[in-house]
Amino acid sequence: MKAVFDDPQFSFQMLRALGGAACGASDIGECLSTGYRIKEGDFESWHDEWSKTAERIHKFADGCVMGANKVKAREVSAREAYLRASNYYRLAEFYLHGDPTDPRIDELSTKSMVCFSKFLRLGGAQVEIVEIPYEDTTLPGHFYPVDNSGEPRPTLIVQTGFDGTIEELYGNAIGAIARGMNCLAFEGPGQGQVIRKQGLTFRHDWEKVVTPVVDFALSLPGVDPKKVALMGLSFGGYLAPRAAAFEHRLAACIANGGVFDFIGSRVPPNMSREDFLGFIKSDPESFEKGVLELAKTNPEIRWGIQNGMYTFGAKSPGDWFIMCGDYTLEGVADKITCPTLIIDSEADHSFPGQAKPLYDALTCPKTWMLFTAEESAEEHCQIGAALISGERILNWLEDTLADVG
């Protein structure tokens, strides 16, 4: 689905920005006018224009808090604007990971977090900002309870994937709350604040991340310990099933979309997975030269390498690809025991062909869900179609948890 840009990567990220309108995290006109100012495929232009939009909306929000002529605060308007500014700062930071030392990464991600915090403080949602114990540190979390009654309720743990943030999960949270489910959103190593502020990179054994999150969820008031579900988005479609294979307190698992093998769709058609990784190990210089040459004219490859090296802590493109070789559910998927929903999208360009092998490898109760162009939901993770996506997925979760005794 084309959105402003001819380049598929920029078009997808613009559609992602537009999709935020479903929960108030963007406004269509603001996104389009910003997009029309951006040079096709130019990462700096993307940063510059989204920064301008973010700063303008941030300034408007601050002015609303002050009130017109400092007479009366306009909290509703401020709240709405802070949410949009938070998302626009996220967008401005998105393509800066080619240089992990770039000070704009910390500056913009901090502004995004601050604006979101102000949105919450102004009544944007009933939420508790929490710190989840993890090894010798903590992970950031947002706990959205249905209410303060303490009545045990189903609880959805939701996480992002390769490039999202905890603030983006707000839309998933309000969808769960509306259906009588608590929501605990979190970021793990390689994601959001955890990579930007703590420097913790991705790890393939994601159960070591999720088990402490489940421990924490079960300590919260109003959480039914028999009805805790986990949903992973995008690369989270590998991470969540990986965790569910070893964390058996989960009542359900959702992979949107399913990822059986992180590098599966990136292996050249004339090579096996083993031969491809073997080639990279044996001749990393030739591999790097070829990939970087492609990256010059392909923004998607350029961004993927830059963000991959940043979030995995890799020293070179070859180093990153070799690390990615550990992220497979071969020999793992059949250990999942809870009901599992595997989702695919008709035009998924991020992990094409990865959902079906994961579904086929499952031996637990399983459901296949395909989103199509007819529903306007064919993009990866149904970007741009948040409402129909949430409706179908959360309907499945409601039905599944209702069967749990």
In-domain check, residue 276: yes
CATH number, residue 81:
1.20.1440.110
C-beta atoms surrounding 318 within 10 Å: 20
Name which residue leads in pLDDT, 123 or 313. 313
**pTM of whole model > 0.85?**
yes
| pLDDT, position 338 | 98
| pLDDT, position 68 | 54
Q: Same domain, yes or no, for 343 and 227?
A: yes
Query: What residues have CB less than 8 Å from 205, skipping those under 6 apart?
Result: 242
Per the structure, how many domains does the chain have?
3
Domain C-terminal end among 122, 151, 179: 122
Cis bond upstream, residue 257 (ω within 30): yes
Range of the domain at 46: 8-122
d(CA 15, CA 323): 30
Residue 130, token pair as written in the block: 């929490």
Residue 247 has pLDDT above 90, yes or no: yes
Q: Same domain, yes or no, for 271 and 337?
A: no
Question: Which alpha helices (H) appear in 94-206, and where do they start and end?
Answer: 103-119, 170-178, 192-196
Q: Same domain, yes or no, for 269 and 176?
A: no
Summarize the chain as % helix, strand, coil (round to 5).
50, 15, 35
Determine which one of 234, 345, 350, 389 is catalytic.
Answer: 234
CATH number, residue 181:
3.40.50.1820
26 is catalytic: no
d(CA 316, CA 53): 34
Q: How confident is the model at residue 404 (pLDDT cuts 50, 70, 90)?
A: confident
Q: Same domain, yes or no, for 305 and 190?
A: no
d(CA 293, CA 91): 26
Domain C-terminal end among 70, 101, 122: 122
Q: Same domain, yes or no, for 62 and 135?
A: no
d(CA 118, CA 52): 20
Cα angle value 261/264/269 (rounded, 5°)? 165
pLDDT digit string, tens, across residues 272-322: 999 999 999 999 999 999 999 999 999 999 999 999 999 999 999 999 999
**Rounded mean pLDDT of 385-398?**
98
Domain C-terminal end among 277, 305, 324: 324
The amino acid occupying position 392 is: R
